[in-house]
């Protein structure tokens, strides 16, 4: 099986552009009529839906930013009433308030089709057994790939995250040929498989993997491919737009094929926000062309990347997204979970036994992301009151885990120990080598 939706995936560039134009014109009108916050942005610059005549006019449209989603929390950005929505997903935002995305039945169908295209790009077919070790829940990773595999007609194993020994047993017994999880987890899994003495190709029959939700390098790709004898594909997505399936590597790995009949990408200069020419690196901006529940026009993803338009031997004609190289804000991605320093601050500020002087150390140990938060004790706490300090540490550890949805090691230090800086504090040391 080479394509999931051959006609859409291989249409020529002119047809693709015509389809994008037709969809954008409709989408702008739809958003103007149904999404109040965006209508206000267009009115403010006296832009009318009729001013957008083709995809070439997209630069005239104002940007949508995460703050817009936060201001409209929870339902202000939905273009449909609640009765038309069938699903809500959410991810962390800077204030600790969630970024909510609503989906109609059709949105979920299209999401499933996009994820199915990605699975086929990686080498899956309706005969495949697809093992999904992404978390299921508000996070879109698990369910997105789940829909993709079901839409493809493959057998889905919804293993979700955690319990590595059981995951390995399921992969072995059910003879999974495709796996979906984070890149750091697959390396951890490969090590455990090795420790158990299982044979690649005999006990473990994996042929391909789709790995996303965190940044990873070409070096990691080589390592994963060698250890497990599989094809390792990168996938891109974000819950605000759809979840996984927005773009994915095919077997030739010439950049992730962007599903640009549904999601239109642009790269803009991080400082001036002016559109950049093909190939240049800047902030990725995405416009949904078919979304009903929460359409977004020119959404600034804060991900730094570049696009390429080189022909791909696979025959797909979409534009391609090169690997994400960073973020234009201070968001950290720890084991696939979005973490903002401001979320950490809001937990620290609730406690008088500590001071909001802190430093975050991020590392990758045994291929898993680790996060340590070094916090200063308040001068009122006796430094030798060991039991009391341990109690504070435990309390913070549990509150932090619940606020961030990911665990962090809390280290309490004496007052004045955390380095102060003038101007913007540098609070993060990221030692992960990609």
Looking at the Cβ atoms of 124 and 312, the one nearer to Zn ion is 312
3-state secondary structure of 123: coil
Tokens 């014109």 sit on residue: 25
Q: In whole angstroms, how close is the CB of 113 to Zn ion at the nearest point?
A: 17
Q: In whole angstroms, how close is the CB of 315 to Zn ion at the nearest point?
A: 7
Q: In whole angstroms, how close is the CB of 58 to Zn ion at the nearest point?
A: 24
Q: Are 328 and 354 in contact, with CB atoms under 8 Å apart? A: no
3-state secondary structure of 428: strand
* Residue numbers 309-328 binding Zn ion by CB under 5 A: 312, 314, 316
Phi-psi region of 175 (alpha: psi -120 to 50; beta: other; left: phi over 0): left
Q: In whole angstroms, how close is the CB of 201 to Zn ion at the nearest point?
A: 26
Q: Are 292 and 281 in contact, with CB atoms under 8 Å apart? A: no
- C-alpha angle with apex 291: 290 to 296, nearest 5 degrees? 110
Residue 375 neighbours by CB distance under 10 Å: 26
User: What are the tokens at 212?
Assistant: 């996303």
Q: In whole angstroms, how close is the CB of 3 to Zn ion at the nearest point?
A: 10
Asked if 248 interacts with Zn ion (CB under 5 A), we say no
Cα(243)–Cα(101) distance, rounded to whole angstroms? 10
Looking at the Cβ atoms of 230 and 312, the one nearer to Zn ion is 312
Q: In whole angstroms, how close is the CB of 21 to Zn ion at the nearest point?
A: 24
Q: Are 392 and 354 in contact, with CB atoms under 8 Å apart? A: yes
Candidates 46-54, 108-116, 218-226, 246-254; binding stretch for Zn ion (CB under 5 A): 246-254
Looking at the Cβ atoms of 146 and 316, the one nearer to Zn ion is 316
* Residue numbers 355-384 binding Zn ion by CB under 5 A: none
Q: How far is CA 311 from CA 118, 190, 252, 281, 317, in A?
A: 18, 34, 11, 19, 7
Candidates 108-116, 128-136, 245-253, 413-421; binding stretch for Zn ion (CB under 5 A): 245-253
Q: In whole angstroms, how close is the CB of 230 to Zn ion at the nearest point?
A: 18
Q: State residue 144 phi and psi, 5-degree precision.
A: -60, -50
* Residue numbers 255-314 binding Zn ion by CB under 5 A: 312, 314
Q: Are 249 and 108 in contact, with CB atoms under 8 Å apart? A: no
3-state secondary structure of 303: strand
Looking at the Cβ atoms of 11 and 375, the one nearer to Zn ion is 11
Looking at the Cβ atoms of 253 and 432, the one nearer to Zn ion is 253
Q: In whole angstroms, how close is the CB of 312 to Zn ion at the nearest point?
A: 3
Cα(132)–Cα(5) distance, rounded to whole angstroms? 22
Q: Are 238 and 301 in contact, with CB atoms under 8 Å apart? A: yes
Candidates 15-23, 252-260, 339-347, 389-397; binding stretch for Zn ion (CB under 5 A): 252-260
Among the listed residues 110, 250, 256, 404, the single contact to Zn ion using CB under 5 A:
250
Candidates 149-157, 243-251, 276-284, 355-363; binding stretch for Zn ion (CB under 5 A): 243-251
Residue 422 neighbours by CB distance under 10 Å: 5
Q: Are 23 and 16 in contact, with CB atoms under 8 Å apart? A: no
Looking at the Cβ atoms of 201 and 311, the one nearer to Zn ion is 311
Q: In whole angstroms, how close is the CB of 128 to Zn ion at the nearest point?
A: 19
Q: Are 256 and 249 in contact, with CB atoms under 8 Å apart? A: yes
Residues forming a β-bridge with 359:
374
Contact track, Zn ion, 160-189, x by CB under 5 A = ------------------------------
Size of the site for Zn ion (CB under 5 A): 5
Contact track, Zn ion, 40-79, x by CB under 5 A = ----------------------------------------
Cα(385)–Cα(392) distance, rounded to whole angstroms? 11
Looking at the Cβ atoms of 121 and 333, the one nearer to Zn ion is 121
Which residues contribute to the site for Zn ion (CB under 5 A)? 250, 252, 312, 314, 316
């Amino acid at each position: 099986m080479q394509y999931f939706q051959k006609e859409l995936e291989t249409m020529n560039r002119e047809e693709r552009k015509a389809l994008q134009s037709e969809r954008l014109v409709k989408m702008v009108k739809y958003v103007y009529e149904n999404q109040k916050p965006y209508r206000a942005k267009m009115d403010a610059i006296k832009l009318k839906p009729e001013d957008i005549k083709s995809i070439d006019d997209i630069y005239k449209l104002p940007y949508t930013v995460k703050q817009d989603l936060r201001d409209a929390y929870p339902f202000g950005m939905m273009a449909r009433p609640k009765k038309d929505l069938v699903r809500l997903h959410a991810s962390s935002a800077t204030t600790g308030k969630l970024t909510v995305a609503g989906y109609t039945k059709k949105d979920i169908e299209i999401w499933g089709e996009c994820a199915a295209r990605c699975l086929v790009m990686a080498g899956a077919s309706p005969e495949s057994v697809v093992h999904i070790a992404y978390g299921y829940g508000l996070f879109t990773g698990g369910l997105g790939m789940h829909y993709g595999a079901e839409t493809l007609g493959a057998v889905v194993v919804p293993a979700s995250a955690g319990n590595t020994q059981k995951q390995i047993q399921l992969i072995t017994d059910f003879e999974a040929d495709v796996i979906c999880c984070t890149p750091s987890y697959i390396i951890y899994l490969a090590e455990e498989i090795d420790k158990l003495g299982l044979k690649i190709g005999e006990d473990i029959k994996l042929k391909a993997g789709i790995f996303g939700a965190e940044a990873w390098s070409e070096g990691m790709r080589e390592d994963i491919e060698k250890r497990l004898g599989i094809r390792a594909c990168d996938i891109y997505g974000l819950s605000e737009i759809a979840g996984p399936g927005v773009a994915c590597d095919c077997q030739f790995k010439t950049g992730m094929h962007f599903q640009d009949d549904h999601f239109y990408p642009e790269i803009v200069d991080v400082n001036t926000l002016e559109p950049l020419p093909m190939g240049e690196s800047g902030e990725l901006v995405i416009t949904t062309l078919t979304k009903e529940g929460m359409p977004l026009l020119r959404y600034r993803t804060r991900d730094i990347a570049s696009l390429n338009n080189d022909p791909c031997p696979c025959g797909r004609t979409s534009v391609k997204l090169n690997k994400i190289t960073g973020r234009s804000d201070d968001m950290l991605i720890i084991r696939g979970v979005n973490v903002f320093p401001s979320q950490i601050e809001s937990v620290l500020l609730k406690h008088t036994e500590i001071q909001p002087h802190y430093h975050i150390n991020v590392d990758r140990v045994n291929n898993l992301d680790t996060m340590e938060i070094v916090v200063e004790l308040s001068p009122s706490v006796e430094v030798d009151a060991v039991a009391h300090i341990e109690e504070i540490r435990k309390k913070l550890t549990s509150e932090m885990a619940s606020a961030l949805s990911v665990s962090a090691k809390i280290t309490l230090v004496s007052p004045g120990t955390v380095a102060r800086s003038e101007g913007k504090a540098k609070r993060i040391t990221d030692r992960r080598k990609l």
